Amino acid sequence: MSNDAKKPGSTGKAIEHAIEKALDPLASAIKRATQPQPVTPPPAAPGKPGLKISPLAVPFPAIPPIGGVEITTARAGFYKHERDDLTIFRFARGTTCAGVFTRHKVGSAPVDWCRRQLDAPGGGLDVRALVVNAGCANAFTGKAGADAARRTASEVAKRFGCRQRDVMLASTGVIGVLLDDKKIAARLQEVETKLDSDVPPTAQWAAAGRGIMTTDTFPKGSYAEATIDGFKVRIAGIAKGSGMIAPDMATMLGFIVTDASIHPTVLRALLGLHVRTTFNSVTVDGDTSTNDTCLLFATGASGAPRIGRVGDRRLKDFSAALDKVMLDLAHQLVRDGEGATKFVRVTVDGAASPASARKLAKSIADSPLVKTAIAGEDANWGRVVMAVGKTDEPVDRDHLAIRFGPHVAAVDGAVSPTYDEAKMSAYMKNAEIDISVDVGSGRASATVWTCDLTKGYIEINGDYRS
């Protein structure tokens, strides 16, 4: 024992030290609790800097190998910040293709290019590549834009050993900016090397989903399987779009690939059948873009028999699976609507015709007053009445009924006797909202998907070009 321990008061000091040591963890905990703690920011979106991932985002799916296609991305430099903005698909010989495009009166150069090649005799019978750039729409750029598109197709065709007409093009980004095609050409050797590398299929598709993004906050992908005459076939797709989304192919790009063997005429019929109730039934802001493109490719690598006739019964399962993929991608566009916090389904029943039902549903989904009420979690059904009545479509006012989810707001043209404001308000706090309207004029129905309209939409679009 040391001499210090024998000094008067040393025992008391030892006890005091022991108590301090025992209380130290508690003191530290109290200190941590009373001090401001660092806040972990929400994850940033992989596209434009400063955007937060949508609260309605869904994870990218696992996608197995699809024979006859390889995909890669590169940075061509259309954006100031570091990100891949060039996506290239390489297809096997004999891959067929069909497309649907924007109805905008000022179509972009890549839209004009694809239409011309696919509408030509033999168009879509042997498509070998798809080139997509983000950051520059190459729209409203006149002959110079058309020449840039042609040169891009020519350079890729030389690399892949095919004709210019067998290269599809798509662009997205700022309108009125001429595409600098030299930036694409400069990356083609790198692209070829990466296409030949061993990258897992899901990683290829996910990278492509990120590479085509503009103000999107998450990559959008979907996958499904089907059978054709006993053969399993696979379908995978990606899409982009979060603003300028309105029915009739808004500011979206969608690319779907299957390993089935299907003639371009049949692919075109399938796209026309399903696009109406999927991509053409979503709206974010009611605006339509210059560059909207949806392309469907069939590589034929599955070994399934070739389908060359529209209406072939062997396509039943495939058609349903294709619709599933397209609807999934369309829903993801709405979930990533600029500034969106609510995913909204608008259904109109009792309309005089399908076209009337669709127009009524779109009027509700496009209404800024309806959408801002949803953002404010206000079940303001009077705004729904307004949106229905302004269309000039046949509506029986005295039989009009409105529901928010399971809750009846109005019936027989007046407020419901069971209306409960507290229940309505509680329902509007959900992330997914259903609005159902019966207009009492017939038997037709239609559904349109949309999102709310928040301050975030204004913030994103107020500095879109910066």
**Active-site annotation, residues:** 251
CB atoms within 10 A of CB 153: 25
Compute the C-alpha angle 201/206/210, nearest 5°: 150
Contact indicator for 401, 310 with CB cutoff of 8 Å? no
Question: Distance between CA 36 and CA 383 in Å, rounded?
Answer: 44
Q: Which residues contact 151 (CB under 8 A, 6 or more apart)?
A: 181, 185
Helix axes 142-160, 188-195, angle to 10 degrees: 40
Q: CA 150, 156, 159, 161 torsion: positive or negative? A: negative
Contact indicator for 219, 46 with CB cutoff of 8 Å? yes
> Where does 390-434 have alpha helices with state H?
421-427
Nearest to 392 by CA among 370, 431, 360: 360
Question: Distance between CA 393 and CA 147 in Å, rounded?
Answer: 45
φ, ψ of residue 326 to 5 degrees: the values are -65, -40
Question: Distance between CA 302 and CA 236 in Å, rounded?
Answer: 14
Token pair recorded at residue 45: 């979106």
Helix (H) or strand (E) holding 436: strand 432-438
φ, ψ of residue 14 to 5 degrees: the values are -65, -40
Token pair recorded at residue 84: 């891949």
Contact indicator for 215, 47 with CB cutoff of 8 Å? yes
Place of tokens 């407020």: 415
Nearest to 73 by CA among 237, 207, 175: 207
Place of tokens 């006859």: 68
φ, ψ of residue 53 to 5 degrees: the values are -60, 135
Contact indicator for 296, 96 with CB cutoff of 8 Å? no
